[in-house]
Amino acid sequence: MMYEKGQRGASGCLVKVGDVSFGGEQLVLIAGPCAVESRAQLLETAVAVKEAGAVMLRGGAFKPRTSPYEFQGLCYKGLEYLAEARQLTGLPVVTEVMDTRDMAAVAEVADMIQIGSRNMHNYALLKEAGACGKPVLLKRGMSATIREFLFAAEYILQQGCSEVVLCVRGIRTFEETRFTMDLSAVPILKDKSWLPVMADPSHGTGDARLVPAMARAAVACGADGVMLESHAHPDLALCDGTQSLSPEGLARIVCEMRLVAEAVGRSLPMPISVCKEGEK
């Protein structure tokens, strides 16, 4: 299988997005709002998540929603704001593409293309992502098996893209949480492939109160980093506010994850905001 090939790092294949390395000794923290809601909201949140320790910015310009009456994102205007946020903070941007017709526009702005859970089985979109010339973050489908997940990665790899990162983000079960965070998938994926594996505890639980424990657990079980939703004002979020962390909450989680990372032989930088607080 093609996902078995690649340059090995500390835990498998190294995938580079600018100065960020997935799969190395240092863990990757991606953070930002679920959706780009406005210029002011994105820029404020981008600065805050960088100070909390994020090395990449996430934010959806195009948002797939269960209800057609819910906020669907700012689309192309959202891409403009993401480009401005990158210029302001220096953080590389990862954002989701939902339609093959938008691939070129998204790839022009994004440093990394995200294929979301709902599109893991969209084979035409996977092929376009593999051919767009950018690294790809592939999320596991909410009802997909590990085998199906890895074959979805194959569709991307077959187009000549070797820069693929897998992301587990919760699966559908019978529990009371929005999804069940199947962290056993992390060591299984790392056993079956050389591709780096991220974890998304925000979507994995749907509840900000559960995110800290799942983020720590993700680091403990071998994830190469975490992707967390953070909003400068979670109570005002137009999308997934209940699972979004405040910048202060994000910084606390980073400090907690650092302790776990050290215990398993990995590292995570101290949040800038915490360093500034210590200097006072």
Q: Kindly report, residue by residue over 18-58, the tens digit of the pLDDT.
A: 999 999 999 999 999 999 999 999 999 999 999 999 999 99
217, 125, 124, 100: which is closest to 170 by C-alpha?
217
Taking residues 223-245, report their average pLDDT: 93
Beta bridge partners of 16: 21
Q: What is the pLDDT of residue 105?
A: 97
Please give the CATH number for the structural domain made up of 2-268: 3.20.20.70
**Looking at residue 132, what is its pLDDT?**
97
For residue 37, the model assigns a pLDDT of: 95
Nearest in space to 96 (alpha carbons), one of 36, 55, 146, 14: 36
pLDDT at residue 66, as a whole number: 79
Q: Parse the chain into domains and list their residue ranges.
A: 2-268
pLDDT, greater one: 278 or 118? 118
pLDDT category at 2 given cuts 50, 70, 90 is low
The predicted pLDDT at position 277 comes to 57
Strand-strand pairing, 20-22 and 15-17: antiparallel
pTM: 0.93
Which pLDDT tens digit goes with each residue over 65-110?
A: 778 887 878 999 999 999 999 999 999 999 999 999 999 999 999 9
What digits encode the pLDDT tens for the residues 138-175? 999 999 999 999 999 999 999 999 999 999 999 998 88
